[in-house]
Amino acid sequence: MYQKLFENWRSFQKVIKEDVMQSEEYGGSFDEMRQKIKEAGDSVWIFFDTETTGLKPDKDYAQVTQVAAIAVDVKNFDAEPEILEEFNVKVSIGQRTKGMMAWEKKKGPDFEREAAAKIKASREAGVDVPVDPETLSSLGVSKVKRVKPPSKYSMYRPISANLAMTGYGVSPNPEKARRKAFLAATEKAEEEGTEGPSFDTFEAPETAEYNSSEEVIDAFTEFLDKYENRVLVAQNAQFDVNYMNEMYRRVGKPAPNDIVVDTVKIFRKFLTPALKKFQSDIGAGEELDPKDAKILKALTTPGGKLTVSLGKLIKAFDVENKGWHDALADVHMLLLCLKAIINFLDTRQELKSLPPDAAVYSKSGKPSDIP
């Protein structure tokens, strides 16, 4: 039923590895895509998102830090989709991740400079060198001319910075937090007349709202299993699916085999032609409708490229910002963005009749002008 519109969770590994997107995915036209959504009217759509410690899940110190989802009844998608249930858990920081955070802290600010220098040198040589401790150590950073990290997009963001950005409840000074917890545990032991903990082996306890990876996987599986006829939806789904697949692998449990909708592909394929038309109209000296001009401005980067990132989409379509870099807030905003964009195109015959953007389906699958 969905094979021309949607993808399969387990197929993402192959899609990413080969980096090929089929031209018929997500419908051959906007109306076909809309019809497919209507055909899914008896389904529950699970909008899901993750927050993580970085971009590459295959590193042993990389992990998911939050998993959130909303179950949505799409029978009345055009008017007001009904949110049936929310899922929102944070994942305890694992020992490997803690070890990497300790290494980053010890390495200090030099790490970003060295990482930036290493990436710059590798790019100049035409080689993609991964940024990790082993690489930096083995290649000998001292042999590379040091450069200042380019703007705020430095080549490496420490895990602690990612945790702070996503609002993860980890103290910015873990050692200070450990000492405070140790003193509290010692005082409690003295009050109870029991033997106190050893500082060398003491670990600060996790708070109750955080769960082990296995507990999160079990809870997420239980959440999904409530809805038999379900479709999973995510923005840039390959990222979230890859991280979740790694999470399933680490706890030794099978990953889902669900149908997955990647909204990035929908937005790129059907919204991008409208944006390019707006650009063409301006180039021809035409004045855009104020609403169209606002949308184009919001979805154009300072460098002049088009983007369909969630942060830009909520500005373009007046979706309330419910919180940034929080997985639960993101899935709520994604639902609203998808609804707003479909409704926007559905009421504009001259836009929805435009040919789907063919650039999205090039062999690379990643057109350079649409980040």
pTM for the full predicted model? 0.73
What is the predicted pLDDT for the residue at 117?
Answer: 64
The token pair at 282 is: 């301006």
What is the predicted pLDDT for the residue at 364?
Answer: 38
Considering the domain architecture, whether residues 222 and 309 belong to the same structural domain is answered as yes
Query: Shortest CA distance to 332 belongs to which of 71, 53, 41, 64?
Result: 71
Considering the domain architecture, whether residues 227 and 335 belong to the same structural domain is answered as yes
In a domain, 1, yes or no: no
What is the C-alpha to C-alpha distance for residues 105 and 22, in angstroms, rounded to an integer?
A: 44
Considering the domain architecture, whether residues 34 and 123 belong to the same structural domain is answered as no
Q: What is the secondary structure of 102-148 as a DSSP string?
A: HHHHHHTTHHHHHHHHHHHHHHHTT-----SHHHHHHHTGGGSPP--
Domain count, the chain: 3
Positive or negative CA dihedral for 361, 346, 49, 245? negative
What is the C-alpha to C-alpha distance for residues 67 and 240, in angstroms, rounded to an integer?
A: 9
Tell the residue number behind the tokens 């709202």, with chain if given. Answer: 209
Considering the domain architecture, whether residues 87 and 218 belong to the same structural domain is answered as yes
Considering the domain architecture, whether residues 38 and 113 belong to the same structural domain is answered as no
In a domain, 291, yes or no: yes
296 pLDDT more than 90: yes
Pairing relation of β-strands 259-262 and 230-234? parallel
Q: Label residues 25-53 b or e (16+ Cβ within 10 Å = b).
A: bbbeebeebbebbeebeebbbbbbbbbbb
Higher pLDDT, 30 or 115: 30
Q: What is the pLDDT of residues 25-60, one digit of tens each?
A: 566 788 888 787 777 767 899 999 999 998 888 888
Per mean pLDDT, which range of 3-12, 61-70, 196-205, 247-256 is the poorest? 3-12
Query: Shortest CA distance to 74 belongs to which of 231, 216, 210, 197?
Result: 231
Tell the residue number behind the tokens 């450990």, with chain if given. Answer: 178
The token pair at 350 is: 């001259």
Considering the domain architecture, whether residues 235 and 315 belong to the same structural domain is answered as yes
In a domain, 200, yes or no: yes
Largest CA distance in the chain: 84
Per mean pLDDT, which range of 49-53, 171-175, 185-189, 307-311 is the poorest? 171-175
What is the C-alpha to C-alpha distance for residues 371 and 104, in angstroms, rounded to an integer?
A: 29
Range of the domain at 160: 96-169
Q: What is the pLDDT of residues 186-196, one digit of tens each?
A: 887 787 788 88
What is the C-alpha to C-alpha distance for residues 236 and 49, in angstroms, rounded to an integer?
A: 9
In a domain, 370, yes or no: no
Considering the domain architecture, whether residues 74 and 223 belong to the same structural domain is answered as yes
Pair 298, 279: CB distance under 8 Å: no
Pair 247, 60: CB distance under 8 Å: no
Which of 112, 141, 169 is the endpoint of a domain? Answer: 169
In a domain, 24, yes or no: yes
The token pair at 198 is: 């050893």
Q: What CATH number has the domain bearing residue 279?
A: 3.30.420.10
Considering the domain architecture, whether residues 274 and 152 belong to the same structural domain is answered as no
Considering the domain architecture, whether residues 125 and 74 belong to the same structural domain is answered as no
User: What percent of the chain has a predicted confidence (pLDDT) above 70?
Assistant: 71
Mean pLDDT, all residues of the chain: 77
Phi and psi torsions of 286, nearest 5°: -85, 150
Bridge partners of residue 259, in order along the sequence: 8
Considering the domain architecture, whether residues 225 and 78 belong to the same structural domain is answered as yes
Per-residue confidence band for 317, with pLDDT thresholds at 50, 70 and 90: very high
In a domain, 317, yes or no: yes
Tell the residue number behind the tokens 């430095």, with chain if given. Answer: 154
Based on the number of CB atoms within 10 Å of its own CB, is 245 exposed (0-12), middle (13-18) or buried (19 or more)? middle
Pairing relation of β-strands 7-8 and 44-52? unpaired
Tell the residue number behind the tokens 């007046």, with chain if given. Answer: 318
Considering the domain architecture, whether residues 220 and 327 belong to the same structural domain is answered as yes
Per mean pLDDT, which range of 113-117, 216-220, 227-231, 241-245 is the poorest? 113-117
Cβ-proximal residues to 113 (8 Å cutoff; 6+ apart), any chain: 146, 147, 148, 149
In a domain, 367, yes or no: no
In a domain, 59, yes or no: yes
Single-letter amino acid, residue 35: Q
Pair 346, 34: CB distance under 8 Å: yes
Which of 140, 169, 198 is the endpoint of a domain? Answer: 169
Single-letter amino acid, residue 306: L
Considering the domain architecture, whether residues 263 and 319 belong to the same structural domain is answered as yes
Phi and psi torsions of 52, nearest 5°: -140, 175
Per-residue confidence band for 217, with pLDDT thresholds at 50, 70 and 90: very high
9 pLDDT more than 50: yes
What is the C-alpha to C-alpha distance for residues 137 and 151, in angstroms, rounded to an integer?
A: 25
The token pair at 237 is: 């789904």
Cβ-proximal residues to 175 (8 Å cutoff; 6+ apart), any chain: none
